[in-house]
Structure 1
Amino acid sequence: MNTECIAPEGGPADGSAGSPRATTQGGNFFVIGQGQYEQLQQAVFGQRQRPVFAVLDGAIIDDLPARLGKHAPDAMCLFSGDLDPMLAAAAPYLLPLAPDTAATRLALLEGWNAHWGIVLVADPGTDIYSLRAHLRRVLRVSTPGGASMLFRFYDPRAFRSVVPTFDPAQRKAFFGPIHGCYTEGRSSDSALYFARDGLEAPNQLSLAAAA
């Protein structure tokens, strides 16, 4: 799988220096409203037979392993081995979602529009172990020059920039058992859905704020 663009828009490829650290303090403009959250939930969980997961980015979210230990104990790190604590804190994590759980609120309410991660709608019967194995296979990509680099697909800015450039074979290889992916849109009142078998351009979901 080749791609020229693996870094998120406006930020470095490793997600370190220059990446904003999202918070949930009062006045945080990233957080969507309750009505928008409910619309997003309806879209994400609308395909009833398909399991839903999120991949969240420890390089963006403060204390992600501790948060997951409290709200999503079934979460799994996409990096393998006995990790240094600093690397573990900055790693991506895969977690299952269900309607209006603490894990879902973390992914779809607290972190939406703050670049915390992406949401995956998988094929029926896909479990977290097989999905993690697939995602680990697409963590690294080859540049046109032949270099191997980390593909931070779990940063929605990178996802929506890179995935539309894939040819059909690359798209099939990348999605694998994933039926489609939701990311935040380029505007704060929208979400994007990238279907595995759909057009290159994503479907846009308007998240209307309550009057």
Structure 2
Amino acid sequence: TPPVHYQETAWGLLLAPHQPPLWAVIDGVNCREVMARLSQTDAQYTCLYASTNATTQATAPWLVRIEADSEIRHWLESLPQDQHWGILLQSNATLKQLRSHLRKFTLLWTPANDQAPVYFRFYDPRVALDMSQALEPWKLAALMAPFEALIIPASPHMVLPPELTLTPAVELDTPASEVQGRLVHIALSEDTRAANGQGRQFSIGDTEYQRFG
């Protein structure tokens, strides 16, 4: 079986009664109103960065629990998907567990510079989709260890994997309004999940770096 399985899904399916809890990682860079929205909600949420600096937090990634009938759910569902506001996760982990895990991946060591890591914006859906295709399966398994699936809002500005069949197809010239509400569900095969192993730091090699390019 292929290591990564792609299929189309929708908000209603993700929030059905038998599904694992749904979370979002919202990108403060692409969604500037995130802090104002979260301050008005009673949802569980936290910043993935340790900084308490307001300027840093304004462009930080934010982890938030999504309830089916919540204002946050309806707000995120209404955002234009070509805004690339963030990603969704299905996970039974706690807020604290997820934050601790995801913080390990906000910096990435690349072959371009072995002296310093770069910010890794895995919560930008374009990066998340590229990552699912570029990373070695065991590294993807390390990143996805505490969640069942990674879900990204589809957009015309993405390199969709050949294994994914969207009907109707999403092309570069497809109007963003036509992909609204269409989500890509990314899950790992059981074999891949079992192969999870991780070093002290998150890094990619030359081959993975080329794939990202």
Aligned residue for 1:136?
103
- Distance change >3 Å, CA 198–CA 151, structure 1 → 2: farther
Pair 1:55 & 2:25 matched: yes
**1:127 aligned onto 2:94:** yes
- Deviations 1:158-178 (CA, angstroms, capped at 9, x unpaired): 111122111121011111111
CA distance in structure 2 between the partners assigned to 1:199 and 1:45 by the alignment: 26
TM-score norm. by structure 1 comes to: 0.68
Give 2:10's aligned residue. 40
- Kept in 2: contact 1:181–1:194 (CA 8 A): yes
- Give how far 1:107 is off: 2.1
In 2: Cα distance, 1:51 partner to 1:131 partner? 12
Q: Does 1:177 align with 2:146?
A: yes
Change (3 A) 1:55 1:44: same
Runs of 5+ unmatched residues, structure 2: 1-8, 157-175, 193-213
**Are the equivalent residues in 2 in contact too, given 1:72–1:103 (CA < 8 A)?**
no
Structure 1: distance between partners of 2:33 and 2:101: 26
Task: Give the whole-Å Cα distance in 2 for the aligned partners of 1:107 and 1:191.
Answer: 12
Q: Partner residue of 2:70? A: 101
Specify the alignment match of 1:66 in structure 2.
36
Deviations 1:99-133 (A, max 9, x none): 131111122223534211100011x3x11110111
Q: 2:48 and 2:42 mapped to 1: Cα distance? A: 15
Compute the displacement of 1:43 (Å).
2.3
* Structure 2 Cα separation of the partners of residues 46 and 144 of structure 1: 42
* Count of aligned positions: 159
Cα 1:183–1:166 shift into 2, 3 Å: same
Contact in 1 for aligned 2:43/2:66 (Cα 8 Å): no
Give the aligned CA root-mean-square deviation in angstroms: 2.3
Question: TM-score scaled by structure 2?
Answer: 0.67
Q: Which aligned segments of 4 or more residues in structure 1 are displaced greater than 4 angstroms?
A: none
Partner of 1:89: 58
Letter in 2 for 1:87: T
User: Structure 2 counterpart of 1:77, which letter?
Assistant: C
Give the 3 Å change call, closer, same or farther, for CA 105–85 of structure 1 in structure 2. same
Cα distance in 2 for partners of 1:72, 1:58 equals 19
